[in-house]
Amino acid sequence: MKRNFTKIFKSGSDGTNYWPLILLSIGVIGLYALSWWWLSCSFHDSEKQGQFGDQFGAVNALFSGLAFAGLIFTIILQKKELALQREELTQTREELKGQKEQMSEQNDTLKIQRFENLFYNMLNLQQKIVDGLRYDYYDEEYVTVALDGGGATTDKKKVKREVVGRDVFRYMFEKIDLSSLTPQVIGYKLYLRVFGMKEYDETLVPTYFDHYFLHLYKIMQFVDSYDLDYNVSYEYMSLLRGTLSRYELVWIYYNTLNPQFNASKQLIEKYSLLKHLRSYLLSFTLEHSQYCENRGITSDDVKNNHFDLNDFPFYLTDNVKETDKYYLSAFWEKTEIDKGKDYLQRWRAFIDLKTESEVKPASY
């Protein structure tokens, strides 16, 4: 206990030694008490007491000086305490700043985790929508029928067929029987060739994919509206793009040319969602063929100039205001956009070269 008490008075929190001040205070108090005791006991003569009192005035002056010194000492101690408090406040601010930065990093991590949970759940739901696609139809096949008297004959028999999942996209575009509309049309690819984009919604075929297109747009809208850097959003859109099959891209291509899906088209162009489109799978729509015919351009001209007979160059533009066509960025990302410009310039040069002197106005 004694050792602890001595340690307390040996030095302050700032290393200051208080013992000289303590000893001086005890000495002064003791001297003052001894002087008054000696005065009371030894001097009964008032004159001598007065003389002694005059001499004791020097002691009072000493006390006053000590009091002033004590005041100075107190101010010094307060200054040191204030310095220590400022240092502690600075350290506290640094700690709070570090905690705030740590909390910000944790919040960013939680934000990304919440986003990814929702994003991957939406991708899973999109896959379930694709897996749930189904188209039933009847096909005719020849079967061998045994005759009672011996021998056999062939007969036609209707057989129910079923197309499910991603195969529905391919079947609907390439092989679906639309002969009830016209004997010439089998497959939606040929339907667009005969009737054009203006008749895109005139059959029930696109309605098979309504839920698919709507949810796909919701995924794109979710990624785009989340508070993420563009490059980060682009990476997630790339993951979405990687889930799309070749005939899904074909259907997205034609469906989004419809003006009512302009919001989807803008997001497709922003994130190059059709980057992996296989253009040779596209149709050659009525509008495109009329455009070429009005300029005296034949299918051989197109092939000889190294262009495929499809709609890819026809619905391509470098003008963002042409909403009825795709801006270049739908197929080429920012670092590759010059390739798209070169392709489009080559197409336009071909058109200008083959255009007749009197060009008939396009029917569309």
> Do 169 and 298 belong to one domain?
yes
> Do 150 and 94 belong to one domain?
no
In whole angstroms, what is the distance from residue 335 CA to residue 76 CA? 67
**How high is the pLDDT of residue 6?**
52
Q: What is the pLDDT of residues 67-113, one digit of tens each?
A: 777 777 778 778 888 888 888 888 878 777 767 777 666 777 888 88
Identify the DSSP state of 44.
-
Q: Select from 66, 91, 106 the last residue of a domain.
A: 106
> Do 180 and 271 belong to one domain?
yes
> Do 320 and 184 belong to one domain?
yes
Q: Provide mean pLDDT across the span 330-344.
A: 94
Quick one: which H or E segment has residue 134?
Answer: strand 134-146
Neighbours of 7 (CB within 10 A): 9
User: Does 148 fall in a domain?
Assistant: yes
Residues 6+ apart with CB under 8 A from 194: 182, 184, 185, 286
Give Cα 209 distance to the centre of its chain.
27
Domain of residue 200, residue span: 134-354
The two tokens of residue 298 are 């034949």
Q: Select from 106, 122, 155 the last residue of a domain.
A: 106
Q: Residue holding tokens 């000893």?
A: 23
> Do 240 and 314 belong to one domain?
yes
User: Does 294 fall in a domain?
Assistant: yes
Q: Provide mean pLDDT across the span 51-62.
A: 58
In whole angstroms, what is the distance from residue 244 CA to residue 256 CA? 15
Q: Provide mean pLDDT across the span 255-264.
A: 92
Q: What is the pLDDT of residues 303-319, one digit of tens each?
A: 888 888 899 999 999 99
> Do 159 and 227 belong to one domain?
yes
In whole angstroms, what is the distance from residue 144 CA to residue 286 CA? 43
User: Does 38 fall in a domain?
Assistant: yes
> Do 347 and 247 belong to one domain?
yes
> Do 67 and 191 belong to one domain?
no
User: Does 120 fall in a domain?
Assistant: no
User: Does 115 fall in a domain?
Assistant: no
Coil, strand or helix at 218: helix
Q: What is the pLDDT of residues 10-32, one digit of tens each?
A: 555 455 566 666 666 676 666 66
Cα Rg of the chain (Å, integer): 47
In whole angstroms, what is the distance from residue 252 CA to residue 255 CA? 5
> Do 300 and 179 belong to one domain?
yes
The two tokens of residue 160 are 């129910």
In one-letter notation, the amino acid at residue 328 is L
Identify the DSSP state of 315.
T
Phi first, then psi: give them for residue 161, nearest 5 degrees: -110, 155
> Do 287 and 175 belong to one domain?
yes
User: Does 256 fall in a domain?
Assistant: yes
Q: How confident is the model at residue 33 (pLDDT cuts 50, 70, 90)?
A: low
Residues 6+ apart with CB under 8 A from 275: 241, 331, 332, 333
The two tokens of residue 70 are 């004590």
> Do 101 and 140 belong to one domain?
no
User: Does 124 fall in a domain?
Assistant: no
> Do 181 and 272 belong to one domain?
yes
User: Does 57 fall in a domain?
Assistant: yes
- How many domains would you assign to the chain? 2
Nearest C-alpha neighbor of 291 from the set 215, 205, 363: 363
